[in-house]
Chains A and B, each alone.
Chain A
Amino acid sequence: MNFKTAFCAASAIALVAGTGAYADGHATTLTIATVNNGDMVRMQGLTEDFTAANPDITLEWVTLEENVLRQRVTQDIAANGGQFDVMTIGTYEVPIWAAQNWLVSLNDLPAEWDADDILPAMRGGLTVDGELYAAPFYGESSMVMYRKDLMEAAGLEMPDAPTWDEIKAAAAAMTDKDAEVYGICLRGKAGWGENMAFLSAMANSYGARWFDEEWTPQFDTDAWKATLTDYLDLMNNYGPPGASTNGFNENLSLFQQGKCGMWIDATVAASFVTNPQDSTVADQVGFALAPDKGLGKRGNWLWAWSLAIPAGSDSVDAAKKFVAWATSKEYTALVAENEGWANVPPGTRISLYENENYTSAAPFADMTLNSINSADPTNPTVDPVPYTGVQFVAIPEFAGIATQVGQEFSAALAGQQTAEEALAKAQALTTDEMEAAGY
């Protein structure tokens, strides 16, 4: 091969590599970034309905793992890269990004989209200064999922709204470690969206809070001590081995194999554990509200995967059309027609829970709605706080701080330190980070 041939080959590679940049020159192409959750996958399969009605719009999907997606879209939106026209983001990001003017307001979506039909708790979490910045695609809270057969064998009955003491008694009664049945499975894996989502919500019901009104960290209070001590007692006495590495998927796997008496986690899990194809205990699952301590707050969280339009998008009008379609009542009907009522995206619209077709197809519908309605992101704790968010604090520093705190609590669960040591470290590191951030 001589240099001329090599040069030609290099040019050919550059040409081939460059093709694609010129494709789709006429139609508007919307690039949609999303996570790989069941409801999102279903949406990708049904987009022909949208493109048939909008032949001038082409859709391209970028599906990524949750943490990669979060980093990827944050980076793009902060650098104004304009890679995405629609992005799937959570309740945590919306108020922070809206405050940075990174998102397009959705107040002008068409009247038939019916903003008043959105559940108030969801709408409140996605609205900043009266402007709606994201449309909820599906919403979730957390609740107790339990084994009816094990409760019956233990001679107990699960109330619809249990207390933490009742949960502890039930966990003790159902645990049979020789048969590898553990009374309770909870998240232990470190991360702001993993163990800290559960523990922050649990702490709310114990009267604890992340910060007081002066933004002083509160891990040195009795309420946090009681929260962490009870959590560790529950998990050490009645939880599965190696729980400090268990997240949503690990617990789902344990529950589906009949190894958990109770599991307190996202309401979206209800459809998985009651699916006879995947779950060995599908017909034995009961549901109850997340527990409380009699202080007026329950230990459940609130989350919505929502569709938002970044300010850098050059196809805002087309993107709004898509967002309105994907979060409309008509889309819900389309999913019901193609995949059945049990598979429609839950937790966003009042009308869905008034629909008998849905409530009869989804035995967990009432409990999901009650859980969502009992969470209040604008008033999440017993004592007043300066922040919004139930299982998170809607400030940019939170994800980093809570992940570090989560590591301390996870280490306590693994037996590497005591609850007191973990809380002292959490208090110290949160104080340092908040001071450095200028609070």
Chain B
Amino acid sequence: MARTVTNQRKFINTVAAWAVGLLIFFPILWTILTSFKTEATAIADPPVFLFFDWTLENYRVVQERSDYMRFLWNSVIIAGGSTFLGILIAVPAAWSMAFVPSARTKDILLWMLSTKMLPAVGVLYPIYLIFIKMGLLDSRVGLTVVLMLINLPIIIWMLYTYFREIPGEILEAARMDGATLREEIIYVLTPMAIPGIASTVLLNIILAWNEAFWTLNLTAAKAAPLTAFIASYSSPEGLFYAKLSAASTMAIAPILILGWFSQKQLVRGLTFGAVK
């Protein structure tokens, strides 16, 4: 029998959900508001919330000083490329682990995850030296590969979890109808796992977009993405919070818009298999 939900309870739930949502969104909102303030208003105490002289001056200065489009293009290439390459490798890997597991599959999965437990700085120097030898420093190819490798365990884990929810009998039926392995993965498994793959793609684009350790350490001028763009507005001597906020707003805007439009897909994918 369905549980009845009283109006009062609905109201409390709605208010609580909005409160939590606003609390989480507040730092981003504050950054966006600060980007429209003057430097003096940005540090005013007590802080000014909405009633100040709104200005676009910070955006003008940031546009003038930095080649925003170059940073943005680098971010798009690196985040998109690393996710795409990651999915190409992860789909067959997750298929084999989900549908043809061996005695060591669980160990391999755990071992893959364990690589995420090592602090990135622990392998910085070896990777830096490899990049020097291969001429990959400050190149989008190098960064795309590194970010793909870093996010690969997460991609495989997520896809493995989604694939496990798909009944093996359907794949068996396809095989009995004469489908080859390739056809089975492409025409039967992939369409059924599209919500899961879509949310994996979105999550990995967000992770790669925000990655700030490798992107700052392995780039200089040519391949630097938006994380380097934000870092260039942080100053040890001088208060440039409004300009820093303008740069941050410009850097997060594309990913925020992408997240906004794909939130249905994202939620569907992340809760996929939660209810049987």
Residues of A within 8 A of B (CB): 1-3, 6, 9-10, 13-14, 16-18, 20-21, 23, 31, 33, 35-38, 41, 44-45, 60-66, 68, 72, 75, 79-84, 193, 248-249, 252-253, 256-257, 259, 266, 268-269, 272, 277-280
Residues from chain B with Cβ under 8 Å of A44 in the complex: 65
Contact in complex: B235, A36 (CB < 8 Å) = yes
Q: Chain A CB within 10 Å — which of B39, B40, B45 has the most?
A: B40
Interface residues of B (CB under 8 A from A): 38-40, 43-45, 65, 77-78, 80-81, 84-85, 88, 124-125, 128-129, 132, 137-141, 144, 182, 186, 216-217, 220-224, 228, 231-240
CA distance A45 to B66 in the complex (A): 11
Residue of B nearest to A38 (CB): B238
Q: A37-B238, A41-B65, A79-B125 are in contact. Are A13 and B77 (CB under 8 A)?
A: yes
Beta-carbon contact of B128 and A75 below 8 Å = yes
A81: chain B residues at CB < 8 Å are: 128, 132, 137
CA separation between A40 and B141, bound complex, in Å?
31
CA distance A83 to B220 in the complex (A): 7
Q: How far is the CA of A256 from the CA of B38 in the complex (A)?
A: 14
Name A37's contact: one of B124, B128, B139, B236 (CB within 8 Å): B236
Q: Is the CB of B78 within 8 A of A17?
A: yes
Contact A17 B77 (CB under 8 A): yes
Give bound CA distance, A10 to B77, whole Å.
12
B140 A10 Cβ-Cβ under 8 A: no
Q: How far apart are the CA atoms of A168 and B195 in the complex, in Å?
A: 68
A35 near B128 (CB under 8 angstroms)? no
Alpha-carbon distance between A79 and B216 when the two chains are bound, in angstroms: 16
Cross-chain contact A13 with B124 (CB below 8 angstroms): no
Query: Is A65's CB under 8 angstroms from B186's CB?
Result: no
Name the residue on B nearest A67 (C-beta).
Answer: B236
CB distance from B105 to the nearest CB of A (A): 24
CB distance from A48 to the nearest CB of B (A): 13
* A18 touching B236, Cβ below 8 Å: no
Q: Across the interface, do A249 and B238 meet the contact criterion of CB distance under 8 Å?
A: yes
> Quick one: closest B residue to A193, CB to CB?
B236
Other A-B contacts than A33-B220, A81-B132, 10 sampled, CB-CB below 8 A, are A1-B186, A31-B220, A31-B221, A41-B65, A60-B222, A62-B221, A65-B234, A75-B125, A82-B132, A253-B45
Question: Given contacts A68-B231, A249-B236, is CB(A61)–CB(B125) below 8 Å?
Answer: no
Give Cα A278 to B45, complex, Å: 13
Contact residue among B38, B222, B224, B238 (Cβ-Cβ distance under 8 Å from A272):
B238
Q: List 19 A-B contacts (CB under 8 A).
A: A13-B85, A17-B77, A17-B78, A35-B236, A36-B240, A38-B237, A60-B221, A61-B221, A62-B224, A62-B228, A64-B232, A75-B125, A83-B138, A249-B235, A249-B237, A249-B238, A253-B239, A272-B239, A280-B40
